[in-house]
Amino acid sequence: MKNKKKGHNIKDITRGDAVVQNLSPSKVLLSHLICGIGLASSFWLAINIYSINLIDNPASTLRLIWLIEVPVVVLLYSLFRKDMNQSSYLKAVARGLLGLPVGAVVHALGAIVLGAPVGTQYFLRTLNWSLLMSTFTFVPAASVYGSSWVDWHRIFAQTKPIGSIDYMICLPAHGAVIGGWFGAWPMPLDWERTWQEWPICVTYGAIIGYLVGMLASFCSAVFRVSSQHVKGD
């Protein structure tokens, strides 16, 4: 019974994704490049225009980064919305924006459970950090899948992406979370460096993880295309 149901689901998904699944590697690369450029430009803006940086002004820099990254991600991923026939582009954008605070709450709770400091002086930092993390993880998924529990469950609980869109969402999101987890390691050490403070090194870890995830997603797209060619031959 369990297996039957799973098989049924998978078939459903493959049929549903038929339209968007054959996203070419170049498109995957392009969308990831846009996200990466958005991230880079936000850093450039912070340092050169506003003359702030992550180490000295973590809260305001984080705010700037997510403010620039959110529109890029929402507008980009809404193009790949799953139920293209039923919902409009605007609806997908609205879903993505709605996903932002929800994801922020989840990430903030997760961080606090793992030991992030609680207190009024850390409130803004935690808020902005969790909004940034939400931009990496929840926002694209919300834009593409909406409230489809099956898809969310498949991507985030089971980590079973099917098709390049799934990979584009799943791998960077997991990369960001795992990178952030590793980024927390230097925090308790007695090196007396300012970047050891919450959430600076965690943010660095998350961004590195996100970039690695995007790279992996692109590689998987290339690999899938080449293997399909082999199959076709």
Partner 1 sequence: MPAFITYNTKIRQTMASLTCTKFTLLAAAAILLQITGLSLFVFGFFPIRPALSGVSGPESFRPPSASCDSFEDQNFTALHPDQLKSLYQVLHYLGLDHVGHLGGRSSILMGPKLQEMDEVIKMIHLSTIQTQESGHGRTLLVVVSDHGMQNNGNHGGSSYEETDSLALFIGPRNSHASATDDTINQVDIAPTLALLFGVPIPKNNAGHLIVDLFHPIEDHQLLRVLELNSWQLLRLLQAQSTDSTCGSFICQAVKKDYSSGLDEYEGSLEEISSCLYLDAAALHRSWKSKHALRSASNDDLLCTVLAYSEFLRTASKQLSHRATDKPIGLLASGIMAMLLSCAMLLGLLFKLDKEIYPRREPSLSNLQIYKFQLAEVLAVVVMVVIVLSMGSSSLVEEEQYLWHFMTSTFFLVLLRQTIQSTKGGDLSNLLNSSMGNGNRTCIQLCSIAVIVISLRILRGWHQGGVNWTHLPDISKSLEMAGSSCIKSFQLLSVVLVISLCLYALSSLWSKSYIIIVIELSYLCAGLLVLQYVIKYQGSGIAASDNDASLAARLIYAFLVMLTTGTVIASPWVLSFQNSHTDLQDLTSNFQSMDLSLLIKDSLFLSGTTYMFGWCLLQLLLQQPVNLMPISLLLIQILATIYYASHGGADVKQWIEIAALYYLGMAGHFSLGNTNTLATIDVARAFIGISSHSTVLSGLIMFAITYASPMLALLSMVMSISMKDINPLREANMGQLFKMILGFPCLVPLALNSLLLVAYTIILLLMRNHLFIWTVFSPKYMYIVVTTVCVLVGVLIVASTVTYIICASVFLGRRQYKDHNSCVNS
Give me the residues that bind partner 1 (CB under 8 A), please: 2, 5-6, 9, 110, 112-115, 118-119, 149-150, 153-154, 157-158, 181, 184, 187-190, 192
Shorter beta-carbon distance to partner 1: residue 43 or 156: 156
Shorter beta-carbon distance to partner 1: residue 38 or 180: 180
Shorter beta-carbon distance to partner 1: residue 67 or 178: 178
Shorter beta-carbon distance to partner 1: residue 188 or 232: 188
Shorter beta-carbon distance to partner 1: residue 49 or 113: 113
Q: Mutual orientation of helices 200-232 and 120-145 as an angle, nearest 10°?
A: 10
Q: State the minimum distance, in angstroms, from the CB of residue 154 to partner 1.
A: 6
Shorter beta-carbon distance to partner 1: residue 17 or 69: 17
Q: State the minimum distance, in angstroms, from the CB of residue 11 to partner 1.
A: 13
Q: How many residues does the chain have?
A: 233
Q: State the minimum distance, in angstroms, from the CB of residue 107 to partner 1.
A: 12
Q: State the minimum distance, in angstroms, from the CB of residue 170 to partner 1.
A: 14
Shorter beta-carbon distance to partner 1: residue 13 or 76: 13
Q: State the minimum distance, in angstroms, from the CB of residue 58 to partner 1.
A: 18
**Tokens of residue 167, six digits:** 């990979």
Q: State the minimum distance, in angstroms, from the CB of residue 115 to partner 1.
A: 6
Residue bearing tokens 């930092």: 125
**Tokens of residue 117, six digits:** 């400091």
Q: State the minimum distance, in angstroms, from the CB of residue 183 to partner 1.
A: 12
Concatenating the DSSP letter of every residue in the chain gives: -HHHHHHHHHHHHHHHTHHHH---HHHHHHHHHHHHHHHHHHHHIIIIIS---TTT-HHHHHHHHHHHHHHHHHHHHHTT-S-TTTS-HHHHHHHHHHHHHHHHHHHHHHHHHTT---SHHHHHHHHHHHHHHHHHHHHHHHHHHTT-HHHHIIIIIS----HHHHHHHHHHHHHHHHHHHHHTTTTTSS---GGGSTTHHHHHHHHHHHHHHHHHHHHHHHHHHHHHHHHH-
